Amino acid sequence: MTAPYREVDFPPVDLEIERREDGVIVMTPREPLKVESASVPLGLARQALKQGGKTHLAERPAPGKDWVTASFAETKARSDALSQFLIDLAPQAGRPLMIVSGNSIAHAVMRYGAMGAGMPVCPVSANYALMGEAGGFERLRHVMDMTRPAVIFAETAACAKAVNATAPGDAVVITREPEAFAGKSVAYDTVLKTPVTPAVARSIESLDPDAPAAYMLTSGSTGKPKAVIQTQRMITANLYQGWQTLGRAAGWDDTLLEWLPWSHVSGAFSSMAAAIFGGSFYIDGGKPLPGLFDQTIENLREIPLKYFTNVPAGYAMLAEALEEDAGLRKVFFEKLQLMLYGGAGLPQPVFDRLQALAEAETGKRVFLTTGYGATETTSGCMSIYFMSEQVGIGLPMPGLSVKLVPLDARRYELRMKGEMVTPGYLNRPELEAEIRDEEGFYKIGDTAEFHDPDNIEAGLAFAGRLAEEFKLDTGTFVSGGALRAELVKVCAPYIQDLVICGENRPYVAILAWPNIKALAEATGLPAEASVAQSEAALDLIAERLAAHNAACAGSSERVVRFALLTTPPDAEAHEVSDKGTINQEAARRHRSGDVDRLYAEPPGPGVISPGARTPGVSA
């Protein structure tokens, strides 16, 4: 008998459904959106008054070091000092404070202080400054030119070379190491000593909810990054819709531990949720990468959580660690109520292992949910806030209307409207007509389908990105995003991720990154890179793909050839994002030689046809 789930306090699903004659469906939650703080700085101020001594932020200066903390009152005081510094500086309106450092207490102070002064904040991936020197820091230069920051926060000298090469000549750099920067620079500690006047409180109280509060960068997967305008109205609407559906269950007012980068909306959302709702946010220095995930495990041994979030690759690594460490299992499941995954679908084998571990430790399973959204919708604005074991994108949260425009018999294009949707892109007014339809719904560029067309409240499943759809040279459409997600599940745990190929080619083929540990365990061979080229390992993957092909309806889903990659995704070539997701187009471009191998006649070295290695199964 299947064990019950730990109880989770979800609101009822109550949607107003509009069905139109042309097949369009519009879904809107009946529960109204209830926003109690008009801005993030006001929310932080409220928590500083309410529980000033409570730890708000914590970080380890280095792996294994003791936690350094900042209370709500301390965070508020430091942020106010920065706000005063910026008010005194009086930069040109609209020019932002750019942050080119990773997650830290100082990073949070910069964000809240800039917002309090009415100055937009623009967090940039630290990789923009740490990589790309050979290309003249092209991506960072693009963002500098696009946003023209008046102030730049570069916490350490590690970013100095990039900032010196790309920053506007009149920009002021705030840093812990001012001697490393060529232009005007001010020590971070000096800024924090700025005497605070009543002007700061007046500024926070009078913030325009519809003025730019942040410029959040898109991933740039289809070109150079764009700066999405986010306002205080957007941010607070998104935070409170999340609170109404998941936040109480997730313990955003309790203790959080996360690694997701604050230059990305998912990471920024969680850290601001802690500020608004009164949570203690522990900054995880680990990442779901070999050698770095050990830091996450160390932290999880110490800090019991009600809520944990990660990407699927992180959950796979976590499952392995939990299976090997009884002490870790005890702490991790002690009070856990909810796990959230994002970035991709969670493979069924990983789901099963996590639930088996939870059941063995507690006698109950732990609910796994996911959110869905985009930089243009502030963050996740849809979620699974109802009991379901189906992988999907859920339903709209309060304050959001979702419009479903039929594409074929099962798929719909997703469009969205609500206070959490962006007014547009910085300096790109010509894109307005492209991103919104005649009714003002934002066209997010994704497709979805119902789990059960006769029961809308069972939620939606992701069906692929319109931009990732392509045609084979036969004219057959391939839904690349949906096919990638399906193949990752089919081949789990033997591959970590893959790249779909086939545009203007005769058939679909894939390049895949092998999971060396899983292949070694399955084949009994040493856990070395060479295991991925062994006959036994190739047979395992070929067998999975051949079984997938046998169940396919046509060439749009059938994998004719595959090859395993021997080098990891290259962040400097933009193959992988800070969240660990693969940029398909960048990977195909960077590995064009590998793509050519897939389609060579005869096939290039290391290229396998699944059916040819599986007797009785046609490729």
pLDDT band at 618 (very low <50, low <70, confident <90, very high): very low
pLDDT in tens, 560-589: 999 999 999 987 787 877 667 788 888 999
pLDDT in tens, 289-342: 878 999 999 999 999 999 999 988 899 899 999 999 999 999 999 999 999 987
pLDDT band at 219 (very low <50, low <70, confident <90, very high): confident
Are domains 15-31+287-466 and 43-234 of this chain identical in fold? Answer: yes
- The pLDDT, as a whole number, for residue 578 is 67
Domain 472-613 has CATH 1.10.287: no
- The pLDDT, as a whole number, for residue 289 is 82
The top-level CATH class assigned to 43-234 is alpha beta
| Residue 20: CB atoms within 10 Å | 11
Q: Does the pLDDT value for residue 171 go beyond 50?
A: yes
Cβ distance 432 to 424 under 8 Å?
yes
pLDDT in tens, 502-537: 998 999 999 999 999 899 999 999 988 888 889 999
pLDDT in tens, 274-283: 999 999 999 9
Q: How far apart are CA 286 and CA 259, in angstroms?
A: 6
Secondary structure of residue 587 in the 3-state scheme: helix
Mean pLDDT, to the nearest integer, of 8-25?
Answer: 94
pLDDT in tens, 404-451: 999 988 899 999 999 999 999 999 999 988 999 999 999 999 999 999
- The pLDDT, as a whole number, for residue 223 is 59
* Chain mean pLDDT for the chain: 92
Residue from 296, 300, 319, 316 nearest 255 by CA:
300
Q: Does the pLDDT value for residue 18 go beyond 80?
A: yes
Cβ distance 122 to 98 under 8 Å?
yes
Amino acid at 73: A
What is the pTM assigned to this prediction?
0.86
Sheet hosting strand 367-373, strand order edge to edge: 307-310, 338-341, 367-373, 380-383, 395-396
Cβ neighbors of 231 (< 8 A, separation 6 or more) are 209, 210, 211, 212, 213, 423
Radius of gyration in angstroms for the set of CA atoms belonging to the chain, rounded to a whole number = 24
HEC secondary structure over 251-300: CCCCEEEECCCCCCHHHHHHHHHHHHHCCEEEECCCCCCCCCHHHHHHHH
- The pLDDT, as a whole number, for residue 344 is 64
Q: How far apart are CA 423 and CA 560, in angstroms?
A: 44
Q: Which residue ranges make up each domain of the chain?
A: 15-31+287-466, 43-234, 472-613
Fold of 15-31+287-466: Rossmann fold (3.40.50)
